[in-house]
Amino acid sequence: MLHIAYALSDKQGNYSKFAGASMASLLANTEARISFHILHDGSLSEDNRRRFAELVRGKDSEVYFCDVPRRAAATLERGREILPEGMDSERYTGANIYRLLLPEVLPPEAEKAIFLDADTIVNLDIRELWEKDTGEAGLAAVPDFDVLEHFGQSHKIKPNGSFLFEEGLADIHDIFNAGVLLLDLKILRRRENLLLEGLKFLRAHRGKWDFFDNDILIGFFAKSYIHLPWHFHIRLGWALAYGGSVVERGIYHYVDRNYSLNPKIPLHALFLHYLLSSPWGGPELLCSCCRAARETSLPLMQERLQKVRLIENACRRKRRVFMGLREDEARLREDFSLGREEAYLPLAPGQELRLPYSTEGHFYLVFWGNYGEVKGLLEGAGLREYEDFADGTLLMPERVEGLVAEDRSVIWRM
């Protein structure tokens, strides 16, 4: 029996489907008997529990639900005493720390476990990972360096300002993402409670840590963990950018909600295939997709309309002054019926920004690719957005970005 653990916080009821797609992919690629452990914070709905149970039915596998705040109440309370900001943070859900509690909350007969983030797709037989060694430290993971080296991009990893580098606790060859872990629970149970030990470690570096549970794991295991082959943890963004979206045998991590509804891209089709084949992929999914797209896009359109109204109101009160590339002047004058008496100020990269007209009677419309750059300069000069200046491209019909919800937002809300 292979023990596979996921951690969930699903207060809106729309996150469980990602773990469901991951589990569906895992089961489709193995004949091993799997014992799934869903670690949750009490927010798992009965409907999603039913779907998880349906997923393993007839597969000679099983699923268990572990309410971590109940199972590990004393440990969590002690953790809050050690480092309150680590346990209760807007940046992290409680589920982030649950991987550190696996030695405590998994049953004693589970002597070994694989932890997978919910946003993974397993495109290989999970037994290949299960059979790997964890070494004397009891932990195996994939170094980021090795994945990028496979794609010929290892030069992109450089030491940053992390205290892990500054204090010699890790180097660029040691860093790993904790989304895929192979754990020897027998070894880990011999140490002090991993979560409490880790919170003490972060408290000693208060104000320096960035990634909480990942910093703990790297701080403790960087010099001792077993380096797994690159294909056991492939960040989807890297595979898309450097691998041409070619689907390879491996475990893909859709980190940073890197999802798309475009089935023509093989790596996105991979996720969609397993989502649709899971108990979350029935007719309801299509309806919820349409609803989520509408509900997500409507506020974006309303926000754009409000900005356009502010610009129009300002232009009624003040004379327009256009700012943009010199070669765009003729087109913009024609498109916006710019009168001879209305000024056009040519802009060029690195050129000093001139403001020859008083904002009491003039309103600057900026037509520039990096609007944020010009906005910063104008605000630094004391001008106010939508009172004295605005992004003129919002008035252009071809400016469609920001009007339609991104695929990842729609998928997240389905």
Give which of 215, 144, 216 is closest to 174, Cα–Cα.
Answer: 144
d(C-alpha 129, C-alpha 232), whole Å: 7
Look up the CATH number of the domain holding residue 131. Answer: 3.90.550.10
274 plus 317 within the same structural domain: no
d(C-alpha 139, C-alpha 213), whole Å: 14
**Count of beta carbons in the 10 Å neighbourhood of residue 382:** 9
Name residues of the chain where pLDDT drops below 50: none
Q: What is the DSSP letter of 106?
A: S
120 plus 174 within the same structural domain: yes
What pTM was estimated for this model as a whole? 0.83
At residue 385, the pLDDT reads: 97
Are the beta carbons of 268 and 260 closer than 8 angstroms? yes
Q: Considering the domain boundaries, does residue 26 fall inside one?
A: yes
At residue 149, the pLDDT reads: 96
Q: Considering the domain boundaries, does residue 408 fall inside one?
A: no
Question: How many domains are contained in the chain?
Answer: 2
At residue 91, the pLDDT reads: 59
SS (H, E, C) 371-386: HHHHHHHHHHCCCCEC
13 plus 122 within the same structural domain: yes
Q: Considering the domain boundaries, does residue 412 fall inside one?
A: no
Q: Considering the domain boundaries, does residue 248 fall inside one?
A: yes
At residue 53, the pLDDT reads: 97
pLDDT digits (tens, 9 = 90+) for 259-318: 998 999 999 999 999 999 999 998 777 777 787 778 888 888 899 999 999 999 999 999
- Terminal-to-terminal C-alpha distance of the chain: 33
21 plus 74 within the same structural domain: yes
Q: Considering the domain boundaries, does residue 410 fall inside one?
A: no
Strand 62-67 with 34-40, pairing: parallel
204 plus 65 within the same structural domain: yes
109 plus 81 within the same structural domain: yes
Instruction: Tell me which residue range forms the domain holding 306.
Output: 297-395
65 plus 187 within the same structural domain: yes
Q: Considering the domain boundaries, does residue 401 fall inside one?
A: no
306 plus 387 within the same structural domain: yes
d(C-alpha 244, C-alpha 254), whole Å: 16
Are the beta carbons of 98 and 68 closer than 8 angstroms? yes
Are the beta carbons of 352 and 374 closer than 8 angstroms? no
Q: Considering the domain boundaries, does residue 405 fall inside one?
A: no
Q: What is the DSSP letter of 399?
A: -
Q: Mark which of 281, 309, 343 sits at the end of a domain.
A: 281
At residue 399, the pLDDT reads: 86
Give which of 118, 277, 119, 96 is closest to 202, Cα–Cα.
Answer: 96
At residue 89, the pLDDT reads: 63
**Both tokens of residue 193?**
């409670």
Residue type (1 letter), 39 = L
d(C-alpha 289, C-alpha 297), whole Å: 12
- Phi and psi angles of residue 205, each rounded to the nearest 5 degrees, phi first: -120, 35
DSSP strands (E only) in 291-342 = 319-325
Q: What is the DSSP letter of 390?
A: E
At residue 352, the pLDDT reads: 85
Tell me which H or E stretch contains 408.
helix 407-413
Residue 176's contacts (CB-CB under 8 Å, 6 or more residues apart) are 141, 142, 143, 144, 217, 218, 225, 233
At residue 284, the pLDDT reads: 77
DSSP string, 154-167: GGG----S-HHHHT
In the block, tokens 């299960």 appear at 130
Q: Considering the domain boundaries, does residue 288 fall inside one?
A: no
Are the beta carbons of 12 and 43 closer than 8 angstroms? no
- Phi and psi angles of residue 228, each rounded to the nearest 5 degrees, phi first: -80, 155
Q: What is the DSSP letter of 309?
A: H
15 plus 80 within the same structural domain: yes
241 plus 322 within the same structural domain: no
Burial of 26 (0-12, 13-18, 19+ CB in 10 A): buried
At residue 93, the pLDDT reads: 62
Give which of 390, 369, 399 is closest to 311, Cα–Cα.
Answer: 390
381 plus 355 within the same structural domain: yes
d(C-alpha 279, C-alpha 274), whole Å: 10
Tell me which H or E stretch contains 39.
strand 34-40
Longest dimension (CA), the chain: 83
201 plus 257 within the same structural domain: yes
